[in-house]
């Protein structure tokens, strides 16, 4: 039997096509822009502003103090509750960020060893892992939690790394650069210690309401995705792929910025 075409189909299609090609009316565009700038202002009000008010040295002492103390002690539990541990492991287990073949891996601002734990599980057996953190108690906590004698652990600041140029072919940096007044301070150092063609998994807080709210607890800032990409490019760190923990995170722009970067 021939399929009967609905007499509504053609006009509806025409209307849909017309709507698709029609530019948004000026009023609607202005309304959307107003909404965006209002949201930006609210986020700026909510976001922790200590980083903008004091010198970097003073701010860094404050950050160290935060992680040395009780907040640092509950960091691993927070990561567990926020599902950062589960989703982070999935990224590496499913090779969305592939650590296979890496020989020299650096985990920046290891904290309680949340990412290092996945690296130990999924990297090649011969790979060498180096973990560092600004806070000595955090380094101890990470080492105790990993219960593995293989990684090297040290206290260091991402803006002044004690490694030679081109040492690492793989770097992971989870939620650390939001503790810098300018991302260039840390990213330039990472670019220096990375080999050409080396890969970096970078996670950081985004300038969304969720990001601003989280910054209050962890005494950090947030980044605008486009601006951060431009900074990375200027340092030879090219964004290969933006990653998301889940489709829901992508739809809601939640979970922050997560990106695979190649050192060119
Ligand atoms: C939110 S935790 C992230 C821990 C882990 N990387 C993760 O993905 O869950 C941030 C860590 O960065 C460290 N940190 C902050 N500023 C740093 C700096 N300038 N250099 C090195 N580590 C830093 C803190 O001490 C803390 O352990």
For residue 226, report the distance from its CA to the centre of ligand 1, in Å. 23
Q: Is the whole-model pTM more than 0.75?
A: yes
Residue identified by tokens 């989870």 is: 174
The pLDDT of residue 18 is 52
Banded pLDDT at 17 (limits 50, 70, 90) = low
Residue 160: its pLDDT value, please? Answer: 98
86-114 pLDDT, tens per residue?
999 999 999 999 999 999 999 999 999 99
Residue 253's pLDDT is what?
87
DSSP state letters, 112-166: TTHHHHHHHHHS-TT-EEEEEES-HHHHHHHHHHHT-SSSEEEE-BTTB--S-TT
Q: Choose which residue among 105, 111, 184 to substitute to test ligand 1 binding: the one with the highest number of ligand atoms within 8 A of its C-beta.
A: 111
pLDDT at 164 over 80: yes
Atom of ligand 1 nearest to the CA of 66: 25
Of ligand 1's atoms, which has the minimum distance to the CA of residue 172? 6
More confident: 4 or 56: 56
> Which domains, and CATH codes, for the chain?
44-263 (3.40.50.150)
pLDDT of residue 23: 64
If you measure from the C-alpha of residue 56 to the centroid of ligand 1, how many angstroms do you get, rounded to a whole number?
Answer: 15
Q: Which of 136, 179, 203, 204 has the most ligand 1 atoms within 8 A of CB, as the residue to mutate? A: 179
| pLDDT tens readout for residues 210-264 | 999 999 889 999 999 999 999 999 999 999 999 999 999 999 888 899 999 999 9
Q: What is the DSSP string of the chain?
A: -PPPPPTTHHHHHHHHHHHHHSPPPHHHHHHHHHHHHHHHHHHHHHS--HHHHS-HHHHHHHHHHHHHSHHHHTHHHHHHHTTHHHHHHHHHHTTSS--TT-SEEEEET-TTTHHHHHHHHHS-TT-EEEEEES-HHHHHHHHHHHT-SSSEEEE-BTTB--S-TT-EEEEEEES-GGGSSSHHHHHHHHHHHEEEEEEEEEEE-BSSHHHHHHHHHHT---B-HHHHHHHHHHTTEEEEEE--SSHHHHHHT-S-EEEEEEE-
pLDDT the model gives residue 22: 60
Q: What average pLDDT does range 49-72 have in this prediction?
A: 94
């Amino acid at each position: 039997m021939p399929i009967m075409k609905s007499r509504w189909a053609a006009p509806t299609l025409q209307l849909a096509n017309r709507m698709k090609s029609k530019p948004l009316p000026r009023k609607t565009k202005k309304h959307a822009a107003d909404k965006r700038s209002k949201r930006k202002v609210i986020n700026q009000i909510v976001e922790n502003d200590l980083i903008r008010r004091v010198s970097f040295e003073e701010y860094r002492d404050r950050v160290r103090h935060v992680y040395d103390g009780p907040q640092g002690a509950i960091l691993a539990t927070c990561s567990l509750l926020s599902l950062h541990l589960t989703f982070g492991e999935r990224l590496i287990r499913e090779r969305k960020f592939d650590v296979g073949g890496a020989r020299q891996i650096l985990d920046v601002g290891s904290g309680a060893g949340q990412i290092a734990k996945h690296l130990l599980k999924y990297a090649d057996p011969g790979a060498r892992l180096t973990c560092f953190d600004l806070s000595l108690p955090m380094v101890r906590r990470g080492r105790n939690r990993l219960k593995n004698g293989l990684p090297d652990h040290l206290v260091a600041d991402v803006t002044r790394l004690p490694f030679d140029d081109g040492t690492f072919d793989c770097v992971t940096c989870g939620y650390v650069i939001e503790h810098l007044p300018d991302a260039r301070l840390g990213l330039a150092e990472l670019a220096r210690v990375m080999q050409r063609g080396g890969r970096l998994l970078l996670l950081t807080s985004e300038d969304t309401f969720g990001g601003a709210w989280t910054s209050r607890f962890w005494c950090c800032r947030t980044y605008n995705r486009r601006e951060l990409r431009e900074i990375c490019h200027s340092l030879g760190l090219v964004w290969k792929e933006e990653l998301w923990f889940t489709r829901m995170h992508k739809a809601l722009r939640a979970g922050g910025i997560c990106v695979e970067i190649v050192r060119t």
